[in-house]
């Protein structure tokens, strides 16, 4: 059975290439809906900035990662801007890592 936790664990494989941190630890994932009947995951996520040059790449990689989950046949990723991403959404250990760069 799919759970939000298992989906989040899977999404840790998607890494922001500029920051070299996965999208879960960056706090980019806002909402996950699992439709077991249709074997589909619908996910809302944001990006660190509206002008992110890799927005299409991150969206594609996220969708592809979701489709690799056993039992999932389709995935939809929606890029949303509310609430706007900020540093408080980072996991504390990730924030320390970025501050030490």
* pLDDT digits 0-9 by tens, 14-29: 999 988 999 999 999 9
On whether the CB atoms of residues 16 and 23 are closer than 8 A, the answer is yes
- Say if pTM beats, i.e. exceeds, 0.85: yes
Q: Where are the alpha helices (DSSP H) in the chain?
A: 4-11, 55-67, 92-99
CATH 3.30.300.130 is held by the domain 4-88: yes
* pLDDT digits 0-9 by tens, 61-78: 999 999 999 999 999 999
Residues 6 or more apart whose Cβ sits within 8 Å of residue 53 = none
């Amino acid at each position: 059975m799919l759970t939000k936790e298992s989906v989040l664990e899977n999404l840790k494989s998607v890494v922001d290439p500029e920051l070299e941190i996965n999208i879960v630890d960056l706090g980019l994932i806002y909402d996950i809906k699992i439709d077991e009947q249709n074997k589909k995951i619908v996910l809302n996520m944001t990006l660190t900035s509206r002008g992110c040059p890799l927005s299409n790449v991150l969206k594609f990689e996220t969708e592809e990662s979701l489709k690799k989950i056993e039992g999932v046949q389709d995935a939809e990723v929606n890029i949303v801007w509310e609430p706007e991403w900020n540093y408080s959404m980072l996991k504390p250990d990730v924030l320390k890592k970025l501050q030490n760069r």
